[in-house]
């Protein structure tokens, strides 16, 4: 957890947890050791704030999954070119297969409300800053929601990865180089895809846990899980542009 300490002449110690960052305002004469002790004494409070933030994000994502089905992108059709332009401009994104517009907010925290992702006014002004903020939010979604989907899939097939890593991969959705050690490295931007495509990528990774190469055994295992996985592979190609944003 990142900790930012601001010193002041005022005889105060204030602790605030905001969006994964612990912000502390303390008197400039307060020793580092004493400040660490004060933070440690409030560790339970910090933990409760972190859990509340995770719970709130989880609730919003579940609502997004079931709400506004008309806005859900059907993966058997090509995304509208105007939507793709807005995605590259950082004005629109997708979360769990739903189109989400990006708007500015008076608050510093990035948050999802309905089908709108709100980011701060300062960040919203610049295209690259908008995209960076969206990616930071997608990482949070991956850590919470995608990790849960992977665990659920592993439970269903009685096979669990030894480690799950979310990274920004170059040109691929997942890296199977450490499949022998059951290490799953997956691009956090998978959280933008519809459920069937997310499930295929997860299934593909688990197939590599059993078979390192794309041989007959690999294909048989994958087809047992997803009989029409070849069709899903073709649908996934339509979303390859996400890796270029």
Neighbours of 33 (CB within 10 A): 8
> Could you tell me if 153 and 203 are in contact, meaning their C-beta atoms sit under 8 angstroms apart?
yes
CA distance to 86, 122, 152, 241, per residue, from 81 (Å) = 9, 28, 35, 12
The pLDDT of residue 26: 86
Against a cut of 0.95, is the pTM above it?
no
The pLDDT of residue 188: 96
Tokens of 8: 């002041």
Domain 65-244 architecture: 2-Layer Sandwich (3.30)
Residue 71 clears pLDDT 60, i.e. is over it: no
Tokens of 228: 């029409």
Mean pLDDT of 45-69: 66
- Coil vs helix vs strand at 79: coil
CA 90 to chain centre: 16
CA 77 to chain centre: 24
Q: In what order do the strands lie in the sheet with 98-105?
A: 92-95, 98-105, 116-120, 111-113
In angstroms, the CA 135 to CA 233 distance is 24
Residue 171: which residues within 8 A CB-CB, separation 6 or more? Answer: 243
In angstroms, the CA 61 to CA 114 distance is 9
The pLDDT of residue 173: 94
Question: Which residue intervals of the chain bear CATH 3.30.2010.10?
Answer: 65-244
- Coil vs helix vs strand at 78: coil
At 198-223, the pLDDT tens digits run: 999 999 999 988 888 888 888 998 89
> Could you tell me if 92 and 83 are in contact, meaning their C-beta atoms sit under 8 angstroms apart?
yes
């Amino acid at each position: 957890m990142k900790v930012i300490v601001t010193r002041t002449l005022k005889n105060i110690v204030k602790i605030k947890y905001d969006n994964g960052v612990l912000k502390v305002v303390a008197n400039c004469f307060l020793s580092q050791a004493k400040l660490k002790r004060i933070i440690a004494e409030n560790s339970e409070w910090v933990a409760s704030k972190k859990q509340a933030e995770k719970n709130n994000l989880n609730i919003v994502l579940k609502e997004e999954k079931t709400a506004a089905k008309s806005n859900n992108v059907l993966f058997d059709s090509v995304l509208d070119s105007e939507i793709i332009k807005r995605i590259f401009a950082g004005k629109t994104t997708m979360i769990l297969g739903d189109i989400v517009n990006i708007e500015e907010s008076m608050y510093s925290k990035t948050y999802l409300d309905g089908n709108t992702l709100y980011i701060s006014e300062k960040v919203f002004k610049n295209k690259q800053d908008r995209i960076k903020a969206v990616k930071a939010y997608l990482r949070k979604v991956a850590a919470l929601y995608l990790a849960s989907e992977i665990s659920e899939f592993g439970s269903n097939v009685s096979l669990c990865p030894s480690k799950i890593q979310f990274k920004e991969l170059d040109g691929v959705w997942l890296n199977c180089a450490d499949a022998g050690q059951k290490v799953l490295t997956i691009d956090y931007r998978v959280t933008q895809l519809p459920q069937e495509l997310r499930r295929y990528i997860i299934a593909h990774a688990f197939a590599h846990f059993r078979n390192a190469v794309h041989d007959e055994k690999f294909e048989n295992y994958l087809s047992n899980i997803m009989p029409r996985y070849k069709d899903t592979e073709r649908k996934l190609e339509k979303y390859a542009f996400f890796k270029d944003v």
